[in-house]
Chain A
Amino acid sequence: GEDVEQSLFLSVREGDSSVINCTYTDSSSTYLYWYKQEPGAGLQLLTYIFSNMDMKQDQRLTVLLNKKDKHLSLRIADTQTGDSAIYFCAEIPNSGYSTLTFGKGTMLLVSP
């Protein structure tokens, strides 16, 4: 079946690194995504990674993919209070036309 799981909550201090983890079950997923949702807003695409990559870096964001364990992580360096939001991991299962399957989201709280 298709299922994406994330831890529900993470709290860090400003300036620290944050690591948000995700596991997925569809080993044939071709693309994996991270989206950010601020209160009352839609989803903002942060980054994505192809399934044939192990790592992708984009400024303060680093995505690591472990296909063997079906594990995806998002590291935010030098976390700021403006990074406080809900972060969603999503996959495109091989069975669908670019239809996203989301986790329930991880709420990141950054304290000063």
Chain B
Amino acid sequence: DAGVTQSPTHLIKTRGQQVTLRCSPKSGHDTVSWYQQALGQGPQFIFQYYEEEERQRGNFPDRFSGHQFPNYSSELNVNALLLGDSALYLCASSGRIAGGETQYFGPGTRLLVL
């Protein structure tokens, strides 16, 4: 059973560019959440997708947008990149199982903005 997968593993962009990150959820999971983890910090919630709709959003600007596909995979898009967007971006999937909607994380995509 494959866990949560993310691509790419690493990415280098320059300020002002746009980036798309991808996530495939764990088998049987229908909900995908995205988190940003800056160096030395805990992950911060960006948004969550369920049934192809954004169900909840954290305190992130509109430059951060996403999408969920019918197969439950998801994309995170960031426009007009800033230096401060450099971070580890984590995807988590969850479904209705014991422990509520317990979230399982992928290995992350490390984004560096120069």
Contacts and interface: CB of A to CB of B under 8 A. Distances in A.
A, B co-complexed:
yes
A98 B33 CA distance: 9
Interface on chain A toward B: helix, strand, loop, or mixed SS?
Answer: strand
Given A30-B100, A96-B56, A42 B41 contact: no
Interface residues of B, number: 29
A65 interface: no
Interface string B39-55: 01111110010100001
Interface on chain B toward A: helix, strand, loop, or mixed SS?
Answer: strand
B102 interface: yes
Contact of A42 (B45, B58, B100, B107): B107
A42 B106 contact: yes
B56 A43 contact: no
A24 to B, nearest CB: 12
Interface in A67-112: 88, 90, 92, 96-105
Contacts of B108: 41-42
A35 B105 contact: yes
A99 B58 contact: yes
A101 B3 CA distance: 22
Contacts of B90: 42-43
Contacts of A96: 56
A58 B87 CA distance: 32
Nearest to B42: A102
Interface of B: 4, 6, 31, 33, 35, 40-45, 48, 50, 55-56, 58, 90, 92, 94, 99-108
Interface of A: 4, 30-31, 33, 35, 41-45, 48, 50, 88, 90, 92, 96-105
17 contacts: A31-B100, A42-B90, A42-B105, A42-B106, A42-B107, A43-B43, A44-B105, A45-B103, A45-B104, A48-B99, A92-B100, A97-B50, A98-B103, A100-B45, A100-B92, A102-B42, A105-B41
